[in-house]
Amino acid sequence: MLESDQIIVITGVRRSGKSFLMKQLAESLIVKDGIPRNEILIINFEDPRFSDLNAQLLQRIYEVYLEFMHPDNTPYIFLDEVQEVENWEKWVRTTQELKKARVIISGSNARLLSRELSTLLTGRHIDMTVFPLSFKEYLHFNNLTVRNSLDLVSRKVEINRSLRQYLELGAFPDVVLHKRKEEILLSYYEDIIYKDLIRRYRVRKPESLKSLARYYLSNISNLTTYSATAKFLNITVNTIEKYSGYLETAYLNYFLKRHSFKVKEQEKSPRKVYTVDSGLANLIGFRFSENVGRTAENAVFLELKRRQANIMDSELFYWKDEHHREVDFALQVGTKIEELIQVCWKLSSPQVNKRESRSLIKALNIFNLDRGLIITEEDEGEEEIKGKQIAYIPLWKWLLGTIGDNVEV
């Protein structure tokens, strides 16, 4: 990736590990590719010593770097949290075009991947989104190693305990590693609200934005509309729509559209709201023990977003018909739905099983698929219903991708 002449764009919620990833990439250049250290420059624009962050400052830093470090070849320049710099885009484009440097940028704002930026850097950038830890990474951070199917059996209790903690406290790397988890989570939340939203967008009604953020964190995995939210919070619809966009650009929330072949119907339908980290939802929004099913669905959504990065031309939706039969996730590749996934934490009765599978089978017939998946707390197996194969798999096993004997976590 770093050998490319294109600009590398790394985005994601703050504290998800973007800075660490940039340092890893820089270290890889030194250790694996033999790049001299003086040909690598890393700048973190959240350093409080910087003031008047603009393109002129960028140019001055670059000139001082050349003066003192004397790189023999085209240097690699890492610009961390670059959205803090005014007019950075033009400087980055010019520097890359003139081959003055290979540029890698990171930021905590989805506008780095906006239509305007894509136009400015047409054909010149590779995008990467960083999330908090996956469950595999979470186990690795906690020194829990699963090498094969035997380990899955012998360490199942530990894995399930870890899953509960993963769902309850979330997966920001520093939160996982430190004891004062809630204190760290609260500081992250406040930084997102004040630095990434209120300050950046000069929000004139900060209490309204904070109310909306709490509302969404209290309603993860639920359907929502701007009008219903506006009525509940006593805030105008226009303000709800604008602030929802802000929350999405800061990667705090995601809004999943309903699948429809009609664009107008898709845009008018309610959307499902998810959050980037369940720990934030449990701290700010609701008590975990009462909402574990919704938290589990949120975990499935985030894992699907991670896996989407490796699937070209893919989109994620939920599906619902006119009779209110619903399937939580429909993965579309190109123009075709390729996978349908239902999340049901507890298949507590035949009636619940029938309801969940009935919706899934209806969608399977509509999209001409032979097999659907229901992710559960502990149920596992496969059955045929009305000519369709329905697979059941526990959440922990699906998150680890451990169907079969070849396992390495």
pLDDT attached to residue 152: 80
| Domain of residue 15, residue span | 7-130
Q: The domain spanning residue 12 has which CATH number?
A: 3.40.50.300
pLDDT in tens, 7-28: 899 999 999 999 999 999 999 9
pLDDT in tens, 39-50: 999 999 988 888
- Whether residue 273 sits in one domain with residue 163: yes
- Whether residue 158 sits in one domain with residue 121: no
Indicate whether 407 belongs to any domain. Answer: no
Give 403's contacts (C-beta < 8 A, 6+ positions apart): 393, 397
Domain boundary among 110, 130, 150: 130
Domain boundary among 130, 162, 196: 130
pLDDT attached to residue 353: 79
407: pLDDT confidence band, cut at 50, 70 and 90?
very low
pLDDT attached to residue 363: 97
pLDDT in tens, 225-262: 999 999 999 999 999 999 999 999 999 999 999 999 88
Dist CA 160 CA 377 (whole Å): 9
Domain boundary among 84, 101, 130: 130
C-alpha closest to that of 100 among 64, 57, 71: 71
For 396, the token pair is 């922990």
Q: What angle do CA 285, 112, 263 make, to 5 degrees?
A: 75
Dist CA 288 CA 280 (whole Å): 11
Indicate whether 405 belongs to any domain. Answer: no
Give 176's contacts (C-beta < 8 A, 6+ positions apart): 133, 138, 141, 142, 169
